[in-house]
Structure 1
Amino acid sequence: MRYYQLREEGTPHLAVETDETLYDLTAARPQLQTFEGLLETAAITDDAIETLTEGLLEDAAVRSMDVLENGAVTAPISSGEIWAAGVTYRISEEARQAESETPDMYIDVYESDRPEVFFKATPERTVGPKAPVGIRADSEWDVPEPELGVVLAGEDIVGYTVGNDMSSRSIEGENPLYLPQAKVYDKCCAIGPGIRSADSIEDPHDLEMWMTISRDGEVLYDDSTNTGKMVRSVEELVDCYTAHNAVPDVSVLLTGTSLVPDEDFTLEEGDEIEIGLEDIGTLSNTVVEV
C-alpha cells in the first residue's frame, strides 16, 4: 500500500493506493486526515496500519489517479523530525573525500562500527513533491542527494519514502564542522511523493534508485544504482539513530546516497530534479536559491 497526503481547498485528506486504485480514507472517516493520525489510531487499537486501512476501504471514496499529478500531493508527513545517515555507500565516501580538506575522516567513518547519523530537517524546512528545494546563496557547489527514507513510528519501521538530502559541498568541504550549515537550511530537504508501507516492501536492500537533473529541457545528469550497494543495513542505521535519543512519535531517517554528480557540476535556480525508487515512487522538485 502507498499512502499519500493530499490538500484540496485547504483541507487535508489521507489517500491510499492499493491494487492500482486510489481511495480517499478521509471520506470514510473525516477525523482521519493524516498518516500521523493513522499511526496514532494504530497505536491505540494495537493494529497494523494495513489492517486499519483494509477496514476503511469499503466506505472510502475512489479517486482518480490524476489527483496524484495535479499538485494536490504534499509531503507525506508534516510532523516530527528528519535525520540522515552519511558515508553509507562507497561513492559517497569517495565524493566527500574529494571535496574535503580533511579526507581521511570519511574513510574512517565508512569502515567504522559507528555510522554517521545527523539531524537534517524540521517540517518547516521540508518540502513535498513538485515544491521547490533550496540551494544556499552563500554556497558555490550544490548537489541533490537521492536517498531511501525510512519512516518510523517511535523506534518501529512502518514505511519507506523517497528523500532528497540537499547539500552544499563547498561549505562542508571547507570544514567538516560546517556540516550543519551545509545540510540544514530553508527548503533543504524533500520527501515524497508518498509512503510505501513496510509490510509491502519485500527487501529495502534490493531497490533500484535513479536520478535525473535537467536544465532548460536538457538532461545534465542521468544515473541509477541499487540500495544493495549500501554498506550498512536499514536496521543498523535505525538502531544508531534511536539509541540514547528521544525520538519523536513520527520521524524519517534518510539512509545515504550512491548517486553523486561529477565534481564540475553544481545546481542552479530552475533546475529540475527527479528521483525514483523502485516500488516506492518518484519525487520531482525544482530548484530555488534561498
Structure 2
Amino acid sequence: MRYFQTGDRTEPAVVVEHDDGLYDLSEAAVGIDSFRELARSAAIADRSLTDLTAALCEDAPTVAREAVRSELRMPVRPDEIWGAGVTYAISQEDRQEEGGLGETYLDAYEAERPEVYFKATPTRTVGPGEAVGIRGDSDWNAPEPELSLVLLDGEIVGYTVGNDVCSRSIERENLLYLPQSKIYDRSCAIGPAVALVDDPHDLEMSMTIERDGESVFSESTSTAEMVRTCEELASYFRRHNYVPELTVLLTGTSIIPPADVTLREGDTVEITIEGVGTLENDVVEV
C-alpha cells in the first residue's frame, strides 16, 4: 500500500493505492484527511494500518491516477525531521580524503552508537514537484537520497523517499559547521508517498541529476548495503529524547556525487526507491 496526500488546506485528502486501485479514504471516514490521522486512528483502534485501510476502501470512491499525480503534496507533514549518517560503507569511504574528518566518520561508522541529528522543520521541507534549495555561500552542494522512516510516537508506521540536501563544502571546513551545512531553507524533500514495504533492507534505490535535459550524474544502490537496521536507528532517535507524534527519520545515503558534480539552480533531482516511488525536485538557490 502507498498513501498520497492531495488537495489543499481547505480540502485535504489522503488517497491509498491498494489492489491496483486508488481510493480516496477521506470520503470514507470523517476526519481522515491525512496519513497522520489515519495512523492515529489505527493506533487508537488497536488495528493494523493495513486492516483499517482495507476496511475503509470498501466504502471509498476511486480516484483517477492522473488526478492524484497533478495534486500531489508532501505525503506527511511531520512535526520534526531527523537524519542518520554514516550508515553505508561508501559514506565513510567517501570522507576518508577529507583531512582530519575521515577518522571521525570512520569512528561513527564502526561505533555502536549511530550518528543521529536534527535535520529540518516542516517549513524547511518540500514535497514532490517543489524545489529543493542550495546555499548561495557553498560551492559544493549535493543531494543525498535516503530511505526515510515515518514514525508515529517513535514507532515505524511507513517509509518514504528523502533527499537530505547538504552543503558539502561547508561541512568539509569544520565539523562544527555541520548544522549550517544541513539545516537551512528547502534543505530537505520527502515524498511522493508513504509506503508499507515487506523488507526495508532489500530495496533498490537510484538517483539521477539532470541539467539542461541531460544526465550529469546517475547511480544506484540497495538498502541491503546499510550497516544499521531501521529499528536500530529509530531506537537511538527515541533514547532520552522528546518524541513528537509524527517524525520522519532519514536513514543515510550510499550515493554521493563526486566533488566535481555540484547542484546548480535549474537542475532536477530524481530519486527512486523500489516499492515507495519517485521523488522529483528542481533546484533553486536560497
Query: TM-score with structure 1 length normalisation?
Result: 0.96
How large is the Cα RMSD of the aligned pairs? 1.3
Partner of 1:44 in structure 2? 44
Counterpart CA distance in 1 for 2:218 and 2:239 is 37
- Specify the SS of the correspondent of 1:54: helix
The amino acid of 2:43's aligned partner reads A
Work out which of the residue numbers 255, 262, 268 in structure 1 matches 2:251.
Answer: 255
| 5+ residue gaps, structure 1 | none
Q: How does 1:102-141 map to 2 (within 5 A)?
A: 102-141=101-140
Partner of 1:203 in structure 2? 199
CA drift of 1:262 comes to 1.3
Counterpart CA distance in 1 for 2:32 and 2:129 is 24
Counterpart CA distance in 1 for 2:61 and 2:97 is 52
Check conservation: 1:5, 1:12, Cα contact below 8 A: yes
Counterpart CA distance in 2 for 1:20 and 1:44 is 28
Flag the 1:176–1:39 CA change in 2: closer, same or farther, 3 A.
same
The amino acid of 1:281's aligned partner reads G
- Specify the SS of the correspondent of 2:192: strand
1:224 lines up with 2:220 in the alignment: yes
- Specify the SS of the correspondent of 1:60: coil
Counterpart CA distance in 1 for 2:243 and 2:122 is 15
- Residue by residue, what CA displacement relative to the aligned partner does 1:199-253 show, whole Å, maximum 9, x if unpaired? xx22111110000000000101111000011111111111111111111111111
Counterpart CA distance in 2 for 1:100 and 1:39 is 45
Check conservation: 1:134, 1:187, Cα contact below 8 A: yes
The amino acid of 1:171's aligned partner reads I
Report sequence identity in percent. 53
**Worse overlay, 43-52 or 242-251:** 43-52
- Residue by residue, what CA displacement relative to the aligned partner does 1:124-146 show, whole Å, maximum 9, x if unpaired? 11110010000011111000000
Partner of 2:236 in structure 1? 240
The amino acid of 2:278's aligned partner reads T
Q: How does 1:269-284 map to 2 (within 5 A)?
A: 269-284=265-280
Partner of 1:11 in structure 2? 11
Flag the 1:40–1:217 CA change in 2: closer, same or farther, 3 A.
same
Counterpart CA distance in 2 for 1:146 and 1:286 is 14
1:20 lines up with 2:20 in the alignment: yes
Partner of 1:212 in structure 2? 208
Counterpart CA distance in 1 for 2:77 and 2:155 is 18
| 5+ residue gaps, structure 2 | none
- Residue by residue, what CA displacement relative to the aligned partner does 1:159-187 show, whole Å, maximum 9, x if unpaired? 11100000000011100011111001110
CA drift of 1:80 comes to 1.4
Counterpart CA distance in 2 for 1:118 and 1:9 is 30
Between the two proteins, the alignment pairs up a number of residues equal to: 286
Counterpart CA distance in 1 for 2:98 and 2:199 is 33
Counterpart CA distance in 2 for 1:69 and 1:114 is 40
